[in-house]
Chains A and B, each alone.
Chain A
Amino acid sequence: MQSTLRLPKAFSRYRLTLLGLGVALPLVVLLAAGSGAYAIAPQDIPRVLWERENPAYAVLTSVRFPRVLLAVMAGALLALSGAVMQGLFRNPLADPGLIGVSAGAALGAAVFIVALPGAGALEVYALPLIAFVGGLLATLAVWALASSGGRVQVLTLLLAGIALNALAGALIGLLVSRATDEQLRSLTFWTLGGYSGATWSLLAATAPTALLSLWGLLRLSRPLNALVLGESEAFHLGVNLEPFKRKAVALAALAVGTAVAAAGSVGFIGLVAPHLFRLLAGPDHRHLLPGSVLLGAILSVLADLIARTAAAPAELPVGVVTSLLGAPFFIALLLRFKREAAR
């Protein structure tokens, strides 16, 4: 009897957290859109947008909103892929970069920047595209390395990802040693990430893959829940494992590839956001996936806000902020796990 009485409470914790995050995201977006050299009070933003005459209108629509929306998109994609990868690898410390996408994208970008110096004019459009393709190729390579006879061992996938990350890192290092100062600055943007390149056209170009991967990944919650018990058990519960793994990796590669192509490799959000949601609400993927989308977007917008206001007028790379805040959080998590394991 006790169980039926207390059940709704357990479920409402998920609902409450999702509701809270759903309310917080628009508020954070308004706060970030209002902050900067030209300050606009967040509560005035709807009015400014409505009247369209204020000089603030131009600031909001041409600079702030593209940037904040890019932060929302990248954060959401990274956090959602992180949650899915952690579920797929059955490891809470998995990161979306594990399947090689980020490294491949960075390598693609590095090749473009350093080895094709004449292509500067094409940079705005071609660079994200090359990075995107690089990310997908790297994931394909990892997948091919890990599959044998139509099956993919998740552990081998992990190891192949680590190997490919190391290889890509070495190749990027090789390119860096040949780069000019100017090229180095571009490269740094890629390895640390940042939203300063945001424009409406960039957003429009990345929207299709972003929306497709978001939609596809959000539908994976049930097989991910089954996988919590193990691969055999997931099969016993009706999950068709190989197609599911293919779908999860392909969609995550698409999501991370899109995020990295548009904003460079912003670290830690993909790792931390799902964790934070598990701490706030719980591990059920049906709630964790949408929760990670919201939380990733919030964290990303806040990190960007700090990145461009903390040392104004200079700007920190977003990746530096997320890592500065994310690393201690990660260490705290490790300590917690250590305590729990020792118990």
Chain B
Amino acid sequence: MLEARALSFQVGQRHLLEGVSFGLEAGEVLGVLGPNGAGKSTLLRLLSGEERPSSGEVWLLGKALSAYTATELALLRSVLTQRRDLSFPFTAYEVAFLGRLPHLERRPEYPRDHQATTHALDLTQASALSHRKYPTLSGGEQSRVDLARVLAQEPRLLLLDEPTNHLDPRHQVEVLQLCRRLAREGWAVVTVLHDLNLAALFCDRVLLLHQGTVVALGTPQEVFEPERLEQVYGLPFALTQHPSGRPWVMPLG
């Protein structure tokens, strides 16, 4: 579904990303990991089409990203960024409904658009917030409303930049369980995560970035080697096992 071919991105003399390649199939959840400044958000910007790579190309459903119009892209992929400021006090429902915009580009509004919005708000457990003004919500509540907007867009590919940010443990787990469920329904998910253990629990594969290059790509079992994590994060790690059988790491400060 999604293919990154030797992506490099350069600003001035600085190489933010160099030679990043991977493929992603429908039904898969890919976690993007790495320390601050590793190039995770840059990668997401290239995958979303917001920035053009300096070299290399992103392919989506058999077509180069640059061959899509903005609206065509918006019907296929949605993006959750970390930005949380709104220039005008829309209600939570109105914010979630913005996800329907690409669908309304060439047709009038149908009840189906409101059903999709309500459904998305239900999925992220944000429907009780519908009538609150978005700016008055807490960080975690805003995150859930934003996620609902991204889901209401009904794309086939989800690009998420730290969707668990600001969320309490229960909502963190629920968001990632939701990602898994959407993947089962045929969506593909790329998510930037900081929590290695959440990534190990919920991602099929993880991509470990360091200084703009891919250090490792594979299942969490394959990628999470203490020496490798120490080399990337500059911190020793101990590796054990989660009750589910997935790897479980902890930093030894």
Contact = CB atoms under 8 A, between A and B. Distances in A.
Contacts of A241: 70
Interface stretch (B14-22, B89-97, B165-173, B217-225): B89-97
Given A222-B104, A238-B71, A284-B90, A3 B81 contact: no
Contacts of B71: 238, 240
Contact of B88 (A7, A92, A222): A92
B130 A236 contact: no
Interface residues of A, number: 30
Interface stretch (B27-35, B72-80, B227-235, B239-247): B72-80
A228 B86 contact: yes
Nearest to A223: B101
Interface in A227-253: 227-230, 232-233, 235-241
A237 B87 contact: no
B88 A236 contact: no
Given A10-B91, A228-B88, A236 B98 contact: no
Given A235-B50, A239-B70, A229 B101 contact: no
B83 interface: yes
Secondary structure dominating the interface of A: helix
Contacts of A201: none
Given A236-B50, A238-B70, A3 B87 contact: no
B50 A7 contact: no
Nearest to A238: B74
Given A226-B101, A229-B98, A238-B101, A92 B83 contact: no
Contact of B130 (A3, A92, A227, A232): A3
Given A238-B101, A238-B102, A239-B70, A90 B91 contact: no
Interface in A203-229: 222, 225-229
A279 to B, nearest CB: 11
A273 to B, nearest CB: 15
B93 A3 contact: yes
A82 to B, nearest CB: 14
Contacts of A10: 91, 93, 131
Report which residue of B48, B70, B93, B114 has the largest number of chain A beta carbons within 10 angstroms of its beta carbon.
Answer: B70
A65 B121 CA distance: 51
B87 A238 contact: no
B69 interface: yes
B99 interface: yes
A4 B71 CA distance: 29
A177 interface: no
Contact of A2 (B45, B89, B98, B128): B128
A3 B131 contact: yes
Report which residue of B81, B89, B94, B98 has the largest number of chain A beta carbons within 10 angstroms of its beta carbon.
Answer: B98
B127 A233 contact: no
A148 interface: no
A54 B74 CA distance: 62
Interface in B92-135: 93-95, 98-99, 101-102, 104-105, 114, 118, 121, 127-128, 130-131
A14 to B, nearest CB: 10
B31 to A, nearest CB: 20
B74 A237 contact: yes
Nearest to B122: A3
11 contacts: A2-B127, A3-B93, A3-B130, A4-B118, A7-B93, A228-B86, A228-B90, A229-B95, A230-B83, A236-B48, A240-B71
Given A2-B128, A230-B83, 6 more contacts: A3-B121, A226-B98, A228-B86, A233-B79, A235-B48, A238-B71
